[in-house]
Chain A
Amino acid sequence: MAARQFRRYQLLAFFLIVSSHFAGCSSSASSRYFGKTVAPKDNVLRYVSGSEPETLDPQLPDGQPEARIFMALYDGLVEYGPKDQQPIPAIAKSWEINPNLDEFIFHLRDNAKWSDGKPITANDFVYSMRRGFAPETISRTAVSLGGVIKYAEAFNAEKVFVKKGDKFLLESNLGEGGDSKTAPPFGPETEFHKSINSNRVTLDGDEKKRAKQLEADPKLKAAVGEAEFVPVKAEDIGVEAIDDYTLRIILRQSTPYFIGMLAHQYFRFVPRQAIEKYGKEWSRPEHIVTCGAFRLKEHRPYDRLVVEKDPNYWDAANVHLDHIEFYPLEENATIMNLYKAGSIDAFLNHTVLTSWIENVRAYKDEYMNFPEAATAYYSMNITKPPFDNPKVRRAFLLGLDREALSNFRKVTQPLYGKVPTGIFPAYDKAAAKVSEEMRGEKGIAPEAWSNRYKFNAEEGRKQLGEAGFSVQKNGDTFSCPGFPTDRASITYNTNENNKAIAEFVQAQWKQNLGVTVPLKTMEFKTYLPYFKSLQYEGFAQFLWSGDYMDPYTFLGLQYGEENEGGSGFHEPKYDKMLDDANRELDPEKRLEIMARAEEYLMEQLPMIPLTVNATNWMKKPYVKGMYPNPGTLIPWKFVYIERDPTKWDKDVANIMTTADPQFEKQLADLTITQKTAAK
């Protein structure tokens, strides 16, 4: 009896509480900030960094969750700019580039130190690169990022030089690429520089493969003849310490965007003293030595990773936070809850649930929604019918209203090409110019030309009909009974956003083309081989975020035979256009060639561009100096906690242009070294 009364009382209390809070809920929605907003007492930032880091060795993993933490723990020659992600000086205080854009000289600071107090010198960078490219290191990022460094790829793939007597076989000896341009002298001449100035021939290290390679190329075979094969060694790669604080990097081809790549985690300094002492255990908390603004304080996997300000850091005076707590969380709803409860101050990109965005958008001081160098495509498997037919591919492109898709996804913009628009202003200009030229060549009306890749259901149905799958109209709906829907599917790895996109696209094609393409979802590890080995039929989801701030990071996806695009697309013509572009020294002309390559790619259409993504995360108004740059990689030393509520972000129209004197001074002081050097 007593028990029953107790329950009744509890139930009543419960309903009272619930109803009162329902009422309370609506009134709190009008408050200025989202959820509980109280600045922490200490100089500490609590940040959700995504999944648990695989390792704290910056040269091994390729993931973003690790990158966010490495931004605190390690420093590179250069650092990502806080707003635009363009390189700013870090351990290198300034740099020079030769006119060919294939040699770089860096002047290092003499006050940079490891967290154990040892000075950081150019030799440390040389060591970092030799270690990173070593085959036994097994870095996932080494070749894709640093492959342009001379002989780095050859060293990593254990290739060999061809030695005849005391001379190496050079590419100029083969006759091809014989335009042995005598590079103008750049920096002090050294033995190493002299020896690396010529392009040596590299062959496969494996005897059988090498024999095959030689068999395929009789000219090469003749040139090699009876020669000695010398393995490419770590000392051969194009990284040289001219003195303790001067460093030279030599590339195998001109790469205008190389400085931008150098801020990547792979190019950050790793400690020789710790690695040689502890081997693979060096990155464990008890042994780790770092060089960033922060050093590791505590690591409780799957719970928290705490870093503290490093007094040895060369710019320690300008590091504002005492601690950063990184929380490895992945559940979006949980992250949002923690943010709302005020238990975290900011969180990683792409985390606000789509359905929440309308509600969260009102808090514009906290919601970070800006252009991002990330795109979504559907790759099409062009090796399997019916998608080997360009008309079919074009039909599905035209049958998809990407504006409606973006409207549905809320934070995205429709994408009509390979390279996202609005991220690279110079490229956008070049592309507009090229596009206008091409229109002139073809003599197409301006409107038709500008709409050529946009939604046009009627044209889509026409194309499908021309490809042999005629679309019938039944009342308001269409059907395409001839289309083999068992030979097509939209394949994606399981993820809420991917699912929403796939469902929407499926509905669009059903309405516009009368084709119901089945959906197929897979867990990630199953999806990867299915996608990469072209087992899928029809469409497969493909997301790409730029690794560096140059359009090539997007266009390069379809470059070469074994490309990342996942469509089975390989066109020598396209490869040549990109090669030409990268050989071009005039930046404007280079972008124009690239724009032409993009036009060519869109004509071939190995993929359907879907959306340009946008940053989608939140930070509390008291967190300052933290900006939604296009890759959401935050240089932590700029971030500070503003305890004075009057100085919090308030009615900020555009956080990128809002003045913050402290931040701007810090950035200006930092970049001045390079600016004066450039003069």
Chain B
Amino acid sequence: MLSFIIRRLLIIIPMALLVVTLTWGLIRIAPGNFYSGEKKLPAAVEANIRKKYGLDLPWWQQYGMMMSNIVRGDFGDSVKYQGQSVNEIIKRHLPYSATIGLLGYLLALAIGLTAGTIAALKQNSAFDYGSMSLAMLGLSVPNFVLGPILVLIFGFWLYWFPPARWGGIESLVLPVCTLAAIYAAYIARLTRAGMLEVMRSDFIRTARAKGLSEKTVLFRHAIRGGLIPVISFTGPALAALLAGTVVVEKVFAIPGLGNIFIQSVLNRDEPLTLGIVAFLSILIMVFNLIVDISYGFLDPRIRYE
């Protein structure tokens, strides 16, 4: 087990570099560049910019320079926000998105797991239909619709929460709820499906036959197996959430990483994009590793050699 974890951790670094390489290639293929603006730049100025950022060198030299810097953990300065380093920008904006993302996911987990489990246990009951219909509603209403509706109700009709911007606990409520809605719906449905699957399986039947109480069957045996789909979903979802959710950040004007990432791509801010991609890819891979490890704990039949 330990060697498995170490092996996986070691491979993360070259994989992240591969991701960075592919992303770099994509940025280079994409049209436009970071310095183009509405107004035409004089040729002399453009030449100076290209010289300053080493864009006049052959591509392999540029790639080599970029890679050697990245390996040393230095992503350089953002080319859009002059004088700010990429590391500094990520460090500055991660807490915002992480707070919202984590809170949102915890809320979603609490709602989704409870609703999903109860719905599975009481299949075809009114609760099952009710909660699953609600979950579907959660899935069918996009973030960018739900957010403004919540703002309208709780910001302007009730005046309970501020409509946007960061500041204080009360400003977190609406974005967290908006974020949680869709994930709660996902989790509820995945939990229900997984639980139904497990409840019908042989080992549960055996456990019941042994005369274990329903409670024991549920909490000792069923939940662990039933959670597998949720866990697979959680890995990438949580990684993506921590790194920021563009729509919620936009609607509520939160200075999170997600929006900055999209902007960096749209601005062709290469160092910033690469920095966030590297960070994000490592995050995703670590979370996926955690997911794989947790499979082993949840389901004793899964073993890693």
Q: Do chains A and B directly touch (beta carbons under 8 Å) in the complex?
A: yes
Instruction: List chain A positions with a Cβ less than 8 A from chain B.
Output: 3-4, 7, 17-18, 21, 24-25, 52, 54-55, 57, 60, 62-63, 135-136, 138-144, 153, 156-158, 280-281, 283-284, 300-303, 327, 329, 331, 333-334, 337-338, 340-341, 343, 523-530, 532, 543, 562-564
Whether B83 contacts A284 by the Cβ 8 Å rule is: yes
Whether B82 contacts A57 by the Cβ 8 Å rule is: yes
Most buried by A among B38, B92, B153, B157: B38
Whether A283 contacts B40 by the Cβ 8 Å rule is: no
Whether A337 contacts B81 by the Cβ 8 Å rule is: no
A143 touches which one: B45, B155, B162 (CB < 8 A)?
B45
A303 to B44, CA, bound (A): 35
A528 to B156, CA, bound (A): 39
Q: B2 an interface residue at 8 Å Cβ cutoff?
A: no
B259 touches which one: A21, A135, A302 (CB < 8 A)?
A302
A301 to B92, CA, bound (A): 9
A553 to chain B, nearest CB (A): 12
Whether B42 contacts A21 by the Cβ 8 Å rule is: no
Against A, the Cβ 8 Å flags (1 = close, 0 = not) of B146-187 are 001001010111100011111000000000000000000000
Task: List A contacts of B84 (CB < 8 A).
Answer: 301
Q: Which residue of B lies closest to A329 (CB)?
A: B253
A284 to B78, CA, bound (A): 14
Task: List A contacts of B36 (CB < 8 A).
Answer: 525, 528-529, 532
Whether A331 contacts B255 by the Cβ 8 Å rule is: no
Q: Which residue of B lies closest to A566 (CB)?
A: B40
Q: B260 an interface residue at 8 Å Cβ cutoff?
A: yes
Q: B250 an interface residue at 8 Å Cβ cutoff?
A: yes
Task: List A contacts of B37 (CB < 8 A).
Answer: 62-63, 140, 528
Whether A135 contacts B44 by the Cβ 8 Å rule is: yes
A203 to chain B, nearest CB (A): 14
A625 to B128, CA, bound (A): 61
Whether B164 contacts A526 by the Cβ 8 Å rule is: no
Q: B93 an interface residue at 8 Å Cβ cutoff?
A: yes
A136 to B48, CA, bound (A): 7
Whether B31 contacts A526 by the Cβ 8 Å rule is: yes
Given A18-B153, A529-B32 in contact, is the A54-B80 Cβ separation under 8 Å? yes
Most buried by A among B37, B93, B126, B164: B164
- Additional 9 contacts, C-beta under 8 A, given A18-B157, A54-B81, A528-B32: A21-B153, A156-B44, A331-B250, A334-B163, A334-B251, A337-B151, A337-B164, A341-B156, A528-B37
A524 to B151, CA, bound (A): 29
A62 to B40, CA, bound (A): 11
Q: B9 an interface residue at 8 Å Cβ cutoff?
A: no
B32 touches which one: A52, A340, A526 (CB < 8 A)?
A526
Task: List A contacts of B141 (CB < 8 A).
Answer: none
Whether A337 contacts B80 by the Cβ 8 Å rule is: no
What are 23 inter-chain pairs, A to B, with CB distance below 8 A? A25-B157, A55-B81, A55-B83, A62-B38, A141-B39, A144-B40, A156-B42, A157-B43, A301-B93, A302-B93, A331-B253, A334-B163, A334-B251, A337-B164, A338-B253, A341-B155, A343-B165, A524-B32, A525-B32, A526-B30, A526-B32, A528-B37, A529-B36
Contacting A at CB under 8 A, from B13-57, are 30-33, 36-45, 48-49, 52
Whether A343 contacts B162 by the Cβ 8 Å rule is: yes
Contacting A at CB under 8 A, from B57-107, are 80-84, 89, 92-93
A341 touches which one: B38, B162, B268 (CB < 8 A)?
B162
Task: List A contacts of B93 (CB < 8 A).
Answer: 301-302
Whether B158 contacts A283 by the Cβ 8 Å rule is: no
Given A138-B49, A525-B32, A564-B39 in contact, is the A338-B163 Cβ separation under 8 Å? yes
Q: Which residue of A lies closest to B49 (CB)?
A: A138
A523 touches which one: B33, B151, B259, B266 (CB < 8 A)?
B266
B266 touches which one: A301, A303, A524 (CB < 8 A)?
A524
Task: List B contacts of A63 (CB < 8 A).
Answer: 37
Given A140-B41, A334-B163, A337-B151 in contact, is the A17-B253 Cβ separation under 8 Å? no
Q: B296 an interface residue at 8 Å Cβ cutoff?
A: no
A52 to B255, CA, bound (A): 10
Task: List B contacts of A284 (CB < 8 A).
Answer: 83
Q: B4 an interface residue at 8 Å Cβ cutoff?
A: no
Given A60-B82, A327-B165, A337-B151 in contact, is the A529-B31 Cβ separation under 8 Å? yes
Q: B232 an interface residue at 8 Å Cβ cutoff?
A: no
Instruction: List chain B positions with a Cβ less than 8 A from chain A.
Output: 30-33, 36-45, 48-49, 52, 80-84, 89, 92-93, 126-127, 130, 148, 151, 153, 155-158, 162-166, 250-253, 255, 259-260, 266-268
Whether A334 contacts B253 by the Cβ 8 Å rule is: yes
A12 to chain B, nearest CB (A): 15
Whether B40 contacts A564 by the Cβ 8 Å rule is: yes
Q: Which residue of B lies closest to A57 (CB)?
A: B82
A37 to B42, CA, bound (A): 47
Task: List A contacts of B83 (CB < 8 A).
Answer: 55, 280-281, 283-284
Task: List B contacts of A60 (CB < 8 A).
Answer: 82
Task: List A contacts of B162 (CB < 8 A).
Answer: 341, 343
Whether A300 contacts B255 by the Cβ 8 Å rule is: yes
A493 to chain B, nearest CB (A): 10
In the A-B complex, the 6 residue pairs with the smallest Cβ-Cβ separation, listed nearest first, are: A525-B32, A302-B255, A21-B157, A157-B44, A337-B163, A55-B82
A525 to B32, CA, bound (A): 5
Whether A338 contacts B39 by the Cβ 8 Å rule is: no
A158 to B126, CA, bound (A): 79
A63 to B267, CA, bound (A): 14
Most buried by B among A62, A142, A283, A337: A337
A3 to B45, CA, bound (A): 67
B144 to chain A, nearest CB (A): 10
Whether A4 contacts B130 by the Cβ 8 Å rule is: yes
A301 to B266, CA, bound (A): 18
B82 touches which one: A158, A280, A528, A564 (CB < 8 A)?
A280
B163 touches which one: A21, A283, A343 (CB < 8 A)?
A343
Given A281-B83, A338-B164 in contact, is the A525-B126 Cβ separation under 8 Å? no
Task: List B contacts of A562 (CB < 8 A).
Answer: 40, 43
Task: List A contacts of B32 (CB < 8 A).
Answer: 524-529
A84 to chain B, nearest CB (A): 24
Q: Which residue of B lies closest to A24 (CB)?
A: B157
Whether A140 contacts B45 by the Cβ 8 Å rule is: yes
B165 touches which one: A57, A144, A153, A338 (CB < 8 A)?
A338
A280 to B32, CA, bound (A): 25
Task: List B contacts of A331 (CB < 8 A).
Answer: 250-251, 253
A301 to B85, CA, bound (A): 13
A378 to B39, CA, bound (A): 16
Task: List B contacts of A18 (CB < 8 A).
Answer: 153, 157
A280 to B83, CA, bound (A): 6
A529 to B31, CA, bound (A): 7
Whether B251 contacts A54 by the Cβ 8 Å rule is: no
A369 to B45, CA, bound (A): 37
Whether A62 contacts B130 by the Cβ 8 Å rule is: no
B40 to chain A, nearest CB (A): 5
A17 to B152, CA, bound (A): 12
Task: List B contacts of A144 (CB < 8 A).
Answer: 39-40, 42
Q: Which residue of A lies closest to B127 (CB)?
A: A4
A562 to B43, CA, bound (A): 10
B288 to chain A, nearest CB (A): 29
Q: Which residue of B lies closest to A328 (CB)?
A: B255
Task: List B contacts of A3 (CB < 8 A).
Answer: 127
Whether A334 contacts B252 by the Cβ 8 Å rule is: yes
A59 to chain B, nearest CB (A): 11
A301 touches which one: B41, B45, B81, B253 (CB < 8 A)?
B81
A32 to B290, CA, bound (A): 58
A575 to chain B, nearest CB (A): 16
Whether A532 contacts B166 by the Cβ 8 Å rule is: no
Whether A532 contacts B40 by the Cβ 8 Å rule is: yes
Given A136-B48, A327-B165 in contact, is the A17-B82 Cβ separation under 8 Å? no
B166 to chain A, nearest CB (A): 6
A138 to B42, CA, bound (A): 11
A303 to chain B, nearest CB (A): 4
A246 to chain B, nearest CB (A): 31
